[in-house]
């Protein structure tokens, strides 16, 4: 038997061995920002009774118009994304996905062109399983063709859900779908609920693997429009946030869910809490509210430039809860310029007035600079200049936060 000698240099061999697929679409170097229909508009398909609020091209276009007009696009909110319920109930004769013909009469390509002309990007939703959560056609067995269809329309983002899939196969399914997206050659932001699906079915997710394959991923249950839901989510991330830090950063972010600022269930202080903590956690910022009619105070929270700068900080470090002082929880995130931090002091108790807190700054790691310039993020006021041996005293309102930028001074 003859042997064929194949010459492969060790360097090439190593390159071959390590050429496993990973999502490398160049997107989401900072947490993605945009609007998503999901929490606010749900699966409203009744355009007869709710012409302005049903999932339709009218909703997407009027939202895109307002995102430009009210300054969302300028502030960094770039994606306008439709959650479940945009599909027609049946695939077309060739087996391709198609939008509901009554609610998206102009088709997705025309809708993508419309939002692109406004400086926005278009996002759509699919499920990795046999059906979407609301019963529309699923993409299982169709990943290549469905992703190619999205790309041919000019879609820029996919939310891929886990409903009606085999929980034991989610790693394979979501990797396959990621590969299919890559094969289209179009950079498409890949957002998923992959680890949430696994957790829901009692499977421990491998977040390092998940983060390698998608741009954003959810691990915790849906946020609903009320304080109890936000409080539970804040407690979950307060207790567990540290375990996500290594798997969250430029290109791949932990997603605690959509922003409900501007909806019905949260007070203004509670809305500030959500925004502040999402900014500290380097979370994707997807507004799920009606930007066409929003109270000015909610809009100001969403458009706050300092809050957004902290969220979008180029270091891309996920901030976490670091200490509990009495009843106040302190969250911290390292930001630029070097040695600076953002802080959120969180008081979730609903009994009575504000809670006082005192903290020796060197105790919470303020030893990276000679002094820190403290600014109140939400009202823009100057709080003061502090040195590491100073004690910071403040009050935090019930179900509210104090959000501070602590800029390192030389
Ligand atoms: C596909 O993956 C390769 C290798 O990771 C990467 O270089 C390329 O940019 C990706 N393309 C798209 C469109 O995501
Ligand atoms: C999807 O549908 C196919 C065909 O009906 C079925 O064989 C398969 O078990 C289903 N998969 C899941 C995850 O439900
Ligand atoms: C994160 O990475 C750091 C540095 O490699 C390591 O010390 C730490 O244990 C990791 N944390 C977790 C939760 O895996
Ligand atoms: C809320 O504050 C009140 C008054 O300080 C205290 O008695 C109560 O235990 C606190 N509740 C919680 C859940 O911490
Ligand atoms: C400190 O921050 C305030 C805004 O809170 C700003 O006006 C001031 O210029 C800053 N001071 C220094 C020395 O950077």
Alpha carbons 156 and 382: distance in angstroms, whole number:
40
pLDDT of residue 57: 98
356-385 pLDDT, tens digit each? 999 999 999 999 999 999 999 999 999 999
- The alpha carbons of the chain give a radius of gyration, in whole angstroms, of 23
**Which of 161, 255, 257, 290 is flagged as catalytic?**
161
123-178 pLDDT, tens digit each? 999 999 999 999 999 999 999 999 999 999 999 999 999 999 999 999 999 999 99
Alpha carbons 372 and 367: distance in angstroms, whole number:
10
For residue 162, the ligand closest to its alpha carbon is: 2
Alpha carbons 213 and 182: distance in angstroms, whole number:
11
Quick one: tokens of 296?
A: 């000015």
Q: What is the DSSP string of 317-362?
A: PPPEEEEEETTEEEEEEEETTTTEEEEEEEE---SSS-EEEEEEGG
Q: Quick check: 2 pLDDT over 50?
A: no
CA-to-CA separations, 392 to 263, 334, 345, in angstroms, rounded: 33, 18, 11
Quick one: tokens of 343?
A: 């802080």
Pair (110, 198) in one structural domain: yes
Pocket of ligand 1 (CB under 6 A): 22, 24-25, 182, 185-187
Pocket of ligand 5 (CB under 6 A): 373, 375, 382, 409
Q: Measuring from atom 5 of ligand 2, which residue has the nearest CA?
A: 130
Pair (301, 348) in one structural domain: no
Calculate mean pLDDT across residues 200-218.
97
Distance 270 CA to ligand 4 centre (A): 18
| Residues found in the chain | 410
Pair (176, 251) in one structural domain: yes
Alpha helices in 42-91, H assignment, sequence order: 57-69, 72-75
Number of domains in the chain: 2
Active site residue 222: yes
pLDDT of residue 375: 98
Distance 224 CA to ligand 1 centre (A): 35
First to last CA, the chain: 73
In a domain, 350, yes or no: yes
- Using the 3D structure, point to which of 311, 337, 362 is the last residue of a domain: 311
**In the chain, % of residues over pLDDT 90:** 93
Pair (249, 372) in one structural domain: no
CB 32 within 8 A of CB 23: no
pLDDT of residue 352: 87
In a domain, 5, yes or no: no
Alpha carbons 152 and 73: distance in angstroms, whole number:
24
**Which of 24, 46, 92, 222 is flagged as catalytic?**
222
pLDDT of residue 21: 65
**CATH number, domain with residue 154:** 3.20.20.70
Pair (303, 328) in one structural domain: no
Pair (260, 353) in one structural domain: no
pLDDT of residue 253: 98
In a domain, 107, yes or no: yes
Quick one: which of 342, 331, 400, 344 has its CA closest to 373? Answer: 342
In a domain, 42, yes or no: yes
Pair (246, 379) in one structural domain: no
Average pLDDT, the chain: 95
**CATH number, domain with residue 379:** 2.60.40.1180
Atom of ligand 5 nearest to the CA of 405: 5
Residue 370 zone, left/alpha/beta (φ > 0; ψ -120 to 50; rest): alpha
What is the extent of the structural domain holding 261?
Answer: 11-311
Calculate mean pLDDT across residues 345-351.
95
**In the chain, % of residues over pLDDT 70:** 95
Distance 410 CA to ligand 3 centre (A): 30
């Amino acid at each position: 038997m003859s042997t064929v000698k194949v010459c492969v240099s060790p360097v090439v061999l190593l390159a071959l061995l390590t050429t496993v697929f990973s999502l490398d679409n160049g997107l989401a170097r900072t947490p993605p920002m945009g609007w998503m229909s999901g929490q606010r508009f749900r699966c409203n398909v009744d355009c007869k009774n709710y012409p302005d609020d049903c999932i339709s091209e009218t909703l997407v276009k009027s939202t895109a118009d307002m995102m430009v007009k009210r300054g969302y696009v300028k502030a960094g909110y770039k994606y306008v994304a439709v959650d479940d319920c945009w599909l027609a109930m049946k695939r077309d004769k060739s087996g391709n996905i198609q939008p509901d013909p009554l609610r998206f009469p102009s088709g997705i390509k025309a809708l993508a062109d419309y939002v692109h002309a406004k400086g926005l990007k278009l996002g759509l939703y699919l499920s990795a399983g046999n059906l979407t959560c609301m019963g529309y056609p699923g993409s299982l067995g169709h990943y290549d063709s469905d992703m190619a269809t999205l790309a041919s329309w000019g879609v820029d983002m996919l939310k891929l859900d886990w409903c009606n899939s085999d929980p034991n196969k989610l790693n394979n399914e979501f990797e396959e779908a990621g590969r299919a997206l890559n094969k289209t050659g179009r950079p498409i932001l890949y957002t998923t609920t992959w680890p949430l699906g696994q957790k829901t079915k009692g499977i421990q997710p491998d977040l390092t693997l998940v983060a390698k394959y998608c741009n954003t991923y959810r691990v915790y249950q849906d946020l609903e429009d009320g304080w109890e839901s936000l409080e539970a989510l804040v407690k979950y991330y307060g207790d567990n946030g540290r375990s996500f830090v290594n798997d969250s950063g430029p290109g791949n972010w932990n997603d605690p869910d959509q922003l409900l600022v501007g909806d019905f269930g949260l007070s203004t202080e509670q809305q500030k809490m959500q925004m502040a903590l999402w900014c500290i956690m380097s979370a994707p910022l997807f507004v799920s509210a009606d930007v066409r009619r929003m109270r000015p105070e909610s809009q100001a929270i969403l458009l706050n430039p300092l809050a957004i700068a902290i969220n979008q900080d180029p270091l891309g470090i996920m901030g976490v809860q670091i200490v509990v002082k009495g009843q106040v929880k302190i969250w911290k995130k390292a930001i630029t310029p070097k040695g600076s931090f953002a802080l959120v002091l969180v008081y979730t108790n609903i009994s009575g007035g504000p809670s006082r807190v005192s903290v020796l700054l060197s105790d919470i790691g303020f030893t990276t600079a000679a002094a820190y310039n403290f600014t109140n993020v939400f009202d823009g006021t100057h709080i003061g200049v502090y040195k590491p041996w100073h004690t910071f005293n403040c009050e935090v309102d019930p179900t509210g936060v104090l959000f501070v930028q602590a800029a390192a001074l030389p």
